[in-house]
Every structure is written in C-alpha cells, then in structure tokens.
Amino acid sequence: MTAQATVAHGARGHLSFARTWSGGIGLVLTVSVLFIAIFGPFLAPHPPAALLGAPFQAPDSAFPLGTDILGRDVLSRVLCGGRTVVGYATIATAIAYVIGGSLGLIAGYTRSLVDPVVMRVMDVMLAFPPFLFLLVLTTGLGTGPYVLIIGVASIHVPGIVRIVRAATLEVKGRGFVEAAVARGERRSAVLRREIVPNITGTLVADAAPRLTISILLVASLNYLGLGLHPPAADWALMLSENRPGLTIQPWSVAVPGLLIVALTIGTNLLADAVARSRGTSIDRELIAR
C-alpha cells in the first residue's frame, strides 16, 4: 500500500467513528463543552468578577444558577471559566506533541547515538511521579499559567517520544519508505511525506486521552491554588472557592464539576471510537516494544 493510499484509508477510518454509539455520545459531549468554553464569555449576562448579590443566593430569575461565595453570578462565571481549563490543557498537549514528536521521529528514524541518549533521558523523566513533578516545579518556579503549561507539557513528552519512536520504526521498514530512500530523497522529505502521514492515526488515537489527562492536571493544580488564582473565572477554581456553600448553594460547585466530567468522558469516548475505527490495537502493541 502506498503512502497516499494509507492516508486515504486513515481518513475514512477517522470518519467512521461518529457512527458508533461511543463516538456519537463522545462527539456530542465534547462539542457541547467546547462550545461553552469558547463562546461562553460572549453569552455571559454579567462580568464574571462583578459582585451582584448576597453570597450563596439561591437560583432565581436574576441569577439562574444563583450566586457564589462572594455574590458573583455563577452562570456568568461558568460561561467564562472554561477557556482556561480547555485552553491551557490544549496548549500544553500541543507543545508536548511538537517536542515529543520531533524527538521520537529523530530517535526512531536515524537509529544513531541520538536514539539511546534520548530514550535514557525519557526513562529518567518517566521515573518521576507526574503530580509530584508538578508540585516540585511550582514550588521552584512559582505558580502561574506559564509554569502550568510547561509542567503539563513536560509530563507528556516522554510518553509521546516512546509512541512516535515505536510507530516510526514500524513504518520505516515498509516498501514505500525504502523506495523513497532509494530514490535519493532527503531525510526531511522522507519524514514529512512518508513517515508522518502514516503515523498520524496512532497519534490521533493517543491525543484524546492525553488531552483528558492534561485537562485533569490543569484542573487539579488550579483547584489546589498552584495554577490560577482568584478572582480568575475558572471551573476548577469555582470548585475550590465554593466548597463551603456546597449544601447551601450546590449549583456553584455542581455545574463546573459536571462540565469537567462531561469533557473528560467525551474525549475518552472519542478516543476509544477513533481507536476502534482504525484498529489501533496493533499500534498499542508497538508502544510496548
């Protein structure tokens, strides 16, 4: 099978996932939460930091989801609080794929001294418990969005390197890659035209659960006060701030929590559907090599 044919087959596989129940539900959940995260700030009836009523006021016509611990409109903060969780998680995951994907391609294709050096460094990084690494990083560098993004991206890099390296080794031995090398194509051209298109399916199946992990890590750090700080509108911060009023005004905690849960479930269902549609059990076996 040529590289072009493989890519075309992969495109059909990507589209077939939506016809499964898990893919359909996952798509609806993910798109719905992403819509709120992206367009919510334009729909918010009040500024998210405005003090408008009594603390933990019950829902009424003025405040459909009530108010929070400081008397701010919960609906407005929910509509404005998704961009940070989704945005920082997406940026961190994208950075991790750029760095980890580049290192994995180099290690898998060149098979030079770079390969063992890169893999041993990745093994050392994998030895650190992820959350402990983030705690040490925030303690040493301080808190804030940049440290948050760098920390979450660093956690993903070793796993991405291993996946990309394993997939590259498998594709490298195929006939169309050997033919491209025999034609005298440059290494960069072989990687760009022959290798990368044929490992995209593996990366797509890996990206959704990895994004889910990023979302949970970002939310956890924000919840603990190691990422963003009040009065920023953020779903995880809302969980932390409004805990004292859980029994009085549960919507201030339940709604942002449910949105985070819906997003993680949706992306996981999507990942499973994409993996099944592409038959990526073989790809998963490659990772274990």
Q: Tell me which of 22-31, 80-89, 90-99 is least confident.
A: 22-31
Q: In angstroms, rounded to a whole number, what is the distance separating the alpha carbons of residues 238 and 77?
A: 8
Q: For the segment 44-93, what is each residue's pLDDT rounded down to a tens digit? A: 999 999 999 999 999 999 999 999 999 999 999 999 999 999 999 999 99
Residue 239 has pLDDT above 90, yes or no: yes
What's the CA angle centered on 138, arms 137 and 143, to 5 degrees? 145
Residue 32 has pLDDT above 80, yes or no: yes
- Residue 283 CB neighbour total at 10 angstroms: 20
Residues 6+ apart with CB under 8 A from 57: 63, 66, 67, 71, 249
Q: Tell me which of 53-67, 77-91, 164-178, 252-266 is least confident.
A: 164-178
Under 8 Å between Cβ of 56 and 67: yes
Q: What is the pLDDT of residue 135?
A: 87
Residue 237 has pLDDT above 70, yes or no: yes
Read off the DSSP letter of residue 45: S
Under 8 Å between Cβ of 221 and 205: no
Q: Which tokens in the block code for residue 139?
A: 């303690």
Under 8 Å between Cβ of 270 and 208: yes
CA distances from 117 to 120, 124, 273, 287 (A): 5, 11, 35, 18
Q: In angstroms, rounded to a whole number, what is the distance separating the alpha carbons of residues 242 and 181?
A: 61
Residues 6+ apart with CB under 8 A from 210: 93, 96, 156, 159, 160
Name the pLDDT band for 286 (thresholds 50, 70, 90).
very low
Residue 194 has pLDDT above 90, yes or no: no
Q: What is the pLDDT of residue 114?
A: 82
Q: What is the pLDDT of residue 279?
A: 58
Q: What is the pLDDT of residue 15?
A: 54
- Phi/psi at 71 (nearest 5 deg)? 90, 20
Name the pLDDT band for 231 (thresholds 50, 70, 90).
confident
Residue 213: CA atoms inside 13 Å, Cβ hemisphere, count? 20
pTM confidence score? 0.83
Residue 278 has pLDDT above 80, yes or no: no
Q: For the segment 117-139, what is each residue's pLDDT rounded down to a tens digit? A: 989 999 998 888 888 888 888 88
At how many degrees (to 10) do helices 196-223 and 3-16 cross?
Answer: 40
Q: In angstroms, rounded to a whole number, what is the distance separating the alpha carbons of residues 232 and 234?
A: 6
Q: Find how far residue 14's CA is from the centre of its chain.
A: 18
Q: What is the pLDDT of residue 289?
A: 39
Residue 187 has pLDDT above 80, yes or no: no
Domain of 173, in residue numbers: 3-287
Q: What is the pLDDT of residue 199?
A: 85
CATH of the domain at 164: 1.10.3720.10
Kind plus residue range of the DSSP H or E element containing 156: helix 145-172
Name the pLDDT band for 16 (thresholds 50, 70, 90).
low
Q: How many domains does the chain have?
A: 1
Residues 6+ apart with CB under 8 A from 123: 158
Q: For the segment 64-78, what is each residue's pLDDT rounded down to a tens digit? A: 999 999 999 999 999
Q: In angstroms, rounded to a whole number, what is the distance separating the alpha carbons of residues 248 and 118?
A: 53
Query: Look-up: residue for tokens 């603390």?
Result: 55
What percentage of the chain reaches a pLDDT higher than 90? Answer: 45
Residue with the bigger pLDDT between 70 and 14: it is 70
Residue 3 has pLDDT above 50, yes or no: no
